[in-house]
Each structure stands twice: as structure tokens, then as C-alpha cells.
């Protein structure tokens, strides 16, 4: 069992921060919904797990995410408030976003209707256009890293890097099912960069539109050959169902082109998606206005 702080409602995380409930976590960190006395508001507190506090890799990851959060300021990207990188419970305080993860909606409903899919795509192009402009690559765009609020928000910058740092990757970083070829095999395929995030967005929109992923699951073994672990290295994406209109299907599939240079930029994708909004009944859009 992964070591946990086992905090329950009312427990003090650190002075000024009180736990409300566990939200989840990964190998090195766990996240709690908490109450921040200084902000006088609920927040998300990302804490290094107790067995990882002395692990330099986990601590470098928290420091990198803290630095990245501090550099960014965009309405569709999660905000950070402060961090403590030493002491018994190193942690990062993030804004609490109200809404389900996109991955939860897909599991619950099977897929999103077009009137939700289009605004989602346009909001994410806004975020990725901004990241591209400031020289940052997220490297983990996927349904579980999107909170479906108003607007949808891109979260989890734990593996985000500067474009220069991403270009220097020689090892696999990211989530297997949403990873572009150049991120899955950077030494052979190419240089991970902003186009990698467009692949992640394409895979995300594909799954949101279809209810299934564009590629079959690979072998869940880090020692397996890359072609077995990452079907996207050797196979084309699946077909979208006929229920997805061709004007929507075509740009989604364009994001899943094997070569990074063949994928649209965020602004180019927005230029294709925005006219489609005018074809939808206005009551369904709820006052949505594209940002780009």
C-alpha cells in the first residue's frame, strides 16, 4: 500500500491549512481538499507522500511544478497560491476548481454532445496557445487533467517543462495512452514540443467525442518494447463514430498526425472550430464566446 498521511476532516496539514477530504494522488504525491485560513477559502493541497519527502526526484518535481505554476497566468490554466518546499510536509497550494473531471463525464455518459465538445476544444486551444507563446509544454494533456467547470480548466503541471527542456528529453515522460510518438520515443521519432500538447488535445477530444480512445491499450510494462507499449508508434488512430460530424472529426484527427509538423497549431485549430459554433443552436451554448 502506498504510504499516506491519512488525513481526515479537521486534521491540520500545516499551520493555516486544514484537511477536508482526500481527493486522490499518485506515486509521489497526494492531494487533499483543504481550507486555507489566510485565503479564507477552500483550496487543493498537493503534498509529498511521507515516504517521498527525502526523495530528490519527488522534491525536484514539486519544485519544478511550483516554478511552472508561478510563471503562468491564464483563465483556463489552474492557478497556484504558494508552496512550502521544506519541512515535514512539503506541499503546493492550488485553487480549488468546481466541476467534474472530463474523464469522469466520459465514464458516466459515454461521450460529450457536440455542443459541449466544441466549447471544450476552443477553451483548450486558448490555454495551449498561451503555453506555446510563453514557451511551455504541458506534456500531459488528457481527460483527467481537465476540470469541466465554466470555463473548463487545464490542471496538473507536474511534468510541464520549458520548450527547451522538453526538446532535450531522452526518456519517456507522460501518460502512455495520450502520448504522441515523439514523446513516447524521443530518441528516434523527434523532439517533444508544443505539437505534443496538440496530440494530447486531439486524443482527449477524440475520446470525448467517441467515448473510446483513439488507440488500443499498450502493454503495461515499462520494460516492454516501445512498439508494444505504445500502439500509436505503429498504428493509425481508430475511426470516429458516424455520430461525430465530419467538420468536427477532421480537425480532431489532424491533431493525431504522426509527424509533429503536420498537426495544427492551437490558433489554427481554433480557426477551424470557431465557425462550427455558429451552426449550433444558441440555447445549447449557454452564452459561450470563443476566446481566440
Q: Which active-site residues does the annotation give?
A: 140
The dihedral of CA 215, 216, 218, 220: what is its sign? positive
Give CA–CA dist 187/136, Å, rounded: 20
Q: Is 66 helix (H, G, I), strand (E, B) or coil?
A: helix
Beta pairing partners, 137: 161
Rg (the chain; Cα; Å):
19
Give CA–CA dist 275/282, Å, rounded: 13
Q: Which three cell numbers stand for residue 190?
A: 523527434
The answer to whether 94 touches 156, Cβ cutoff 8 Å, is no
Q: Is 275 helix (H, G, I), strand (E, B) or coil?
A: helix
The distance in angstroms from the start CA to the end CA of the chain is 46
Within 10 A of 21 (CB to CB), how many other CB atoms are there? 10
Residue matched to cell numbers 502493454 = 219
Q: Quote the DSSP letter at residue 60.
A: H
Report the Cα 287 to chain-centroid distance in Å: 25
The answer to whether 148 touches 106, Cβ cutoff 8 Å, is no
Give CA–CA dist 248/209, Å, rounded: 9
Give CA–CA dist 246/120, Å, rounded: 17
Amino acid at each position: 500500500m502506498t504510504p499516506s498521511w491519512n488525513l481526515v476532516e479537521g486534521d491540520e496539514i500545516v499551520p493555516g491549512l486544514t484537511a477536508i477530504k482526500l481527493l486522490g494522488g499518485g506515486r509521489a504525491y497526494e492531494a487533499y481538499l483543504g481550507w486555507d485560513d489566510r485565503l479564507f477559502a477552500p483550496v487543493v493541497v498537493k503534498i509529498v507522500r511521507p515516504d517521498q519527502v527525502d526523495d530528490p526526484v519527488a522534491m525536484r518535481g514539486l519544485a519544478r511544478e511550483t516554478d511552472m505554476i508561478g510563471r503562468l497566468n491564464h483563465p483556463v490554466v489552474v492557478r497556484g497560491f504558494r508552496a512550502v518546499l521544506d519541512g515535514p510536509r512539503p506541499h503546493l497550494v492550488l485553487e480549488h476548481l468546481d466541476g467534474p473531471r472530463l474523464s469522469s463525464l466520459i465514464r458516466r455518459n459515454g461521450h460529450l454532445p457536440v455542443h459541449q465538445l466544441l466549447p471544450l476544444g476552443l477553451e483548450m486551444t486558448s490555454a495551449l496557445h498561451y503555453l506555446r507563446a510563453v514557451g511551455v509544454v504541458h506534456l500531459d494533456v488528457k481527460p483527467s487533467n481537465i476540470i469541466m467547470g465554466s470555463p473548463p480548466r487545464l490542471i496538473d503541471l507536474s511534468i510541464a517543462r520549458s520548450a527547451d527542456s522538453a526538446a532535450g528529453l531522452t526518456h519517456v515522460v507522460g501518460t502512455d495512452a495520450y502520448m504522441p510518438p515523439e514523446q513516447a520515443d524521443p530518441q528516434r521519432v523527434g523532439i517533444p514540443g508544443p505539437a505534443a500538447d496538440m496530440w494530447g488535445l486531439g486524443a482527449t477530444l477524440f475520446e470525448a467525442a467517441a467515448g473510446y480512445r483513439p488507440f488500443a491499450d499498450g502493454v503495461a510494462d515499462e520494460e516492454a518494447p516501445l512498439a508494444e507499449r505504445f500502439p500509436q508508434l505503429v498504428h493509425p488512430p481508430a475511426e470516429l463514430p458516424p455520430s461525430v460530424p465530419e467538420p468536427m472529426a477532421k480537425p480532431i484527427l489532424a491533431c493525431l498526425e504522426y509527424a509533429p509538423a503536420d498537426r495544427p497549431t492551437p490558433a489554427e485549430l481554433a480557426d477551424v472550430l470557431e465557425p462550427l459554433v455558429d451552426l449550433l443552436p444558441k440555447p445549447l451554448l449557454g452564452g459561450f464566446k470563443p476566446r481566440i
